[in-house]
Amino acid sequence: MTNHNATAGASASDILTPPPILTTRRLIIRLLEQADLESCHRLFIDIGWDVKGADAVQSLEFRRSWLDWTIAGYREQPRLRQPPYGDRAIVHRESGAFVGLIGLVPSLAPFARLPSLGGLRGARFSPEAGLFWALSPSAQGAGLATEAAEAFLGHVMSILNLRRVVATTDYDNARSIAVMRRLGMRIEQNPYPDVGPDWFQVVGIFEPDAVEAAKGSARRLANVLIRDERPGDEPVIRSIVTEAFKTAPYSAGAEAAIIDGLRESGALTVSLVAERGSEVVGHIAFSPVSIAGERVGWYGLGPVAVRPDHQGRGVGQRLVRAGLDRLKALGAEGVVLLGAAGFYGRFGFKARPQLRLGDAPPEHFLSLSFGEETPSGAVEFHPAFTQA
C-alpha cells in the first residue's frame, strides 16, 4: 500500500485530518467529490439500501444531502478535533471506475452483550469505532472488499491507535463475514436475539493486541495434536480433569467420574485429547442428550479440561472446535452445554429460551444448532452426570 501524504512523527492535529489518498495493488481510496453523486446513488440502489418510501427524485435529493454532509465533514472534523469519520470512494486504480465506499463510522449498539465484551443480557448501548464498506454487486467476489478494508483499517489504526474497531452485518451476509475473518476480526453473534434490536446480529471485532496474542498462541499450538482417546489414556484423562476442576468454585469434583461413567455405558460419543509431544494436556467429551424426552440427534458438551500449566494457550478452543467438527461429520443436529457465554459464545453458542435444563440459570445454559431449527423442551443429560 502506498500512502502519498504520510509523514513521520504525526502531531495531534495531523491525527485528526482526513485520511490521505491510499493506493493498493488494484484500488485507490480517496475522498468523495460532488461528481460521485450518481455513482453513490446507484450503489445504494444496487445493494438494496435505497431510501424507503421515497420516489426517484426524493431519493436522489436525499443522497445529494448525504454527500454534501460527508464532504463538509472532511473540512469540519479537523476544526472540531473529531476523528475522521465518514465514507471514502473506492475506485479502480487503472480505469478510475467507482466500485464502492469504505469509511470509519460511529457505531452505537449494545456491544457489552457480546460474549467477549461482557455477555451482559441487559447491556446498554455504547459507542465504538465502526468500519463500513459497500461494493457494487459487479465488483464483488474478486477480493476487492478485503483489499480496500485492509488498507483503510491499517491506516486508521496507525493514526488513531484505537483499542479496537468493529464491523456489523446480518446473519446471512456470508461475504462480509468472510472479509471480517480475513481482516483478523473475531466474529461474534448477539447471544440474546430475543432482546433486540433486530439488526444487532453479527459483529466483527478487530483488536490489535488480541491479534498479536492469537499469532503467539498459534505458534505455541503448532505442536499440539488433537486426536481420539485411545485405550490407556484413561488414567491421564482422569488426572487432567481432576486437576483442572480442583479449584473451580462450581465443581463438586465429580467430573472425572462422569467421564468414566459415560465410557462404561457406551455413551462417550466423542472423546478427544490434546497431545503436545508425548504428553496429553487436555480432554473434551460429548455425549447424547434427550430433549422433551426424546433423542433428536443433540449432544451435550462437557466436561472439557486442560492441564493447568497449559491453560490460557488456546488448547481448550482447539478441543471445542475439533469436537464440534467431529459431531457435524457424524450428522449431529446440535449441542448444548452449561457454561460461560463469554467463552462459548465465540463458537456460536447462545442462550435459547425454548431449551431449559432443570433449575440451571438460563443465561448459562447455551446451545448451538447445526441446522435451521432448534427443538423445544426440557433437556436431560446422560444419567452418568447425576450418578457420579
User: What would the mean pLDDT of 110-115 be, rounded to a whole number?
Assistant: 93
Amino acid at 227: R
Q: Widest CA span of the chain, in angstroms?
A: 76
Say if pTM beats, i.e. exceeds, 0.75: no
What pLDDT score was predicted for residue 220? Answer: 59
Taking only the tens place, the pLDDT of each residue in 301-358 is 999 999 998 887 889 988 999 999 999 999 999 999 999 887 898 888 999 999 999 9
User: What would the mean pLDDT of 361-372 be, rounded to a whole number?
Assistant: 92
Cβ contacts of residue 92 below 8 Å, gap of 6+? 26, 27, 28, 99
- Minimum mean pLDDT among 83-97, 166-180, 199-213: which range? 199-213
Name which of 327, 347, 342, 336 is nearest 378 in CA terms: 336
Taking only the tens place, the pLDDT of each residue in 126-176 is 999 999 999 999 999 999 999 999 999 988 888 888 999 999 999 889 999
Structural domains of the chain sorted by starting position, each given as residue range(s) with its CATH number in brackets: 2-216 (3.40.630.30), 223-387 (3.40.630.30)
Checking if the pLDDT of 215 tops 80, the result is no
Partnered with residue 350 across adjacent β-strands are 367
What pLDDT score was predicted for residue 13? Answer: 47
